[in-house]
């Protein structure tokens, strides 16, 4: 029998103490895994923290003791709706050393916060006694690399179970697919969401005129006079086309010399004067787009347009 290579996504969790590589089991826990990836693709985990460490020594009132670290608490006004509880009885997964699972209160309340097991934790499975409802927790992934970082986070001195200070989650990004190398994201909706999250970092001095699921743009609303007329100045935008995501970057239209500063991978995607055709997106290209946006922002700032 031919075994097919896994197409589960792999993500890289960059923390203040190092990196953690995680396979996300979309094949076994589709509801929970896709919810997690929704936060990843929207960059909502960026800037959150690992805020809780549970060791054998800091849960004196618990008859059933576990060892985990917990993080990824996205502010409530930015969370997606809670998801249905996907038990380990349904998925066949188990809470083993390195298992990644969703934190929750009662079933159906899991949203963004997740935890990572240190050692096997069978009491977190369906029927386990850690939660009185015996429904267990929703496992959805497992650490592939970086358990040394996980253990280092767990070993930080807490106040009770609260890490003080918490350990920053700098970013969480797709790397590719298990067994498939560092493949780029090719789903246009996912590409759009990732790039939209990058552009949204500039909201404040810049504001969108259009903010939809398939189109987004950023403008300066400062009083800018061009040719004797006041006008809003377009900075950048995105639109999903039939075969690519159009990334419109107006600073290069304003100053074509910016092209000399682009790296080759980004430059070859430029079609016309200011539109880049993004058909696939990996971490390297995303970093290059971030660099371009920063250069464009400085250009607009120097011109007094922001």
Tens digit of each residue's pLDDT (9 = 90 or more) over 267-278 = 999 999 999 999
Domain spans of the chain, in order of start = 9-177, 188-302
108-122, 162-176, 217-231: segment of lowest average pLDDT = 217-231
CB of 150 closer than 8 Å to CB of 18: no
Provide the 3-class DSSP secondary structure of residue 197: helix
Which range, 2-6, 110-114, 129-133, 177-181, is most confident?
110-114
Q: What is the mean pLDDT of residues 1-7?
A: 48
pLDDT at 235 exceeding the cut of 90:
yes
Rounded Cα distance between 151 and 98, Å, is 10
Kindly report the CATH class assigned to 188-302.
Answer: alpha beta
Position 228 confidence tier, pLDDT thresholds 50, 70, 90: low
Rounded Cα distance between 65 and 68, Å, is 10
pLDDT value at position 278?
95
Compute φ and ψ for 294, nearest 5 degrees. -65, -40
Same fold flag, 9-177 and 188-302: no
Q: Which of 220, 194, 242 is nearest to 305 (CA)?
A: 220
Q: What is the mean pLDDT of residues 69-75?
A: 97
The dihedral through the CA atoms of 77, 237, 177, 90 has a sign that is positive
* Residue pLDDT, tens place only, 152-206: 999 999 999 999 999 999 999 887 656 554 455 567 888 898 999 999 999 988 9
Rounded Cα distance between 220 and 73, Å, is 32
86-95, 118-127, 198-207: segment of lowest average pLDDT = 198-207
Provide the percentage of residues in the chain whose pLDDT is more than 90: 71
Region 9-177: CATH code: 2.40.100.10
């Amino acid at each position: 029998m031919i075994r097919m290579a896994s197409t589960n996504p792999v993500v890289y969790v960059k923390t203040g103490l190092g990196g953690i590589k995680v396979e996300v089991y979309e094949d076994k826990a589709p509801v929970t895994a896709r919810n997690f990836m929704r936060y990843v693709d929207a960059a909502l985990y960026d800037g959150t923290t690992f805020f809780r460490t549970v060791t054998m020594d800091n849960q004196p009132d618990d008859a059933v003791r576990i060892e985990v670290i917990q993080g990824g608490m996205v502010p409530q006004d930015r969370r997606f709706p809670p998801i249905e509880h996907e038990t380990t009885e349904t998925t066949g997964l188990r809470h083993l050393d390195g298992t990644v699972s969703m934190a929750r209160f009662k079933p159906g309340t899991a949203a963004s916060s997740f935890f990572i097991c240190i050692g096997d934790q069978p009491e977190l499975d369906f029927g386990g006694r850690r939660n009185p409802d015996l429904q267990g927790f929703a496992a959805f992934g497992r650490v592939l690399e970086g358990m040394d970082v996980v253990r280092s986070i767990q070993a930080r001195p807490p106040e009770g179970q609260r890490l003080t200070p918490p350990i920053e989650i700098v970013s969480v990004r797709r790397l590719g697919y298990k067994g498939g190398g560092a493949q780029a994201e090719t789903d246009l909706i996912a590409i759009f969401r990732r790039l939209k999250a990058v552009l949204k970092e500039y909201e404040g001095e810049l504001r969108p005129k259009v903010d939809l699921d398939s189109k987004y743009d950023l403008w300066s609303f400062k009083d800018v006079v061009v040719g004797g007329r006041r006008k809003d100045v377009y900075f950048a935008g995105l639109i999903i086309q039939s075969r690519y995501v159009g990334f419109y970057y107006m600073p290069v239209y304003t100053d074509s010399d910016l092209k000399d500063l682009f790296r080759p991978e980004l430059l070859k995607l430029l079609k016309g004067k200011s539109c880049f055709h993004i058909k696939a997106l990996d971490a390297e290209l995303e970093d290059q787009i971030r660099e371009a946006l920063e250069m464009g922002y400085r250009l607009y700032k120097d011109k007094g347009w922001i």
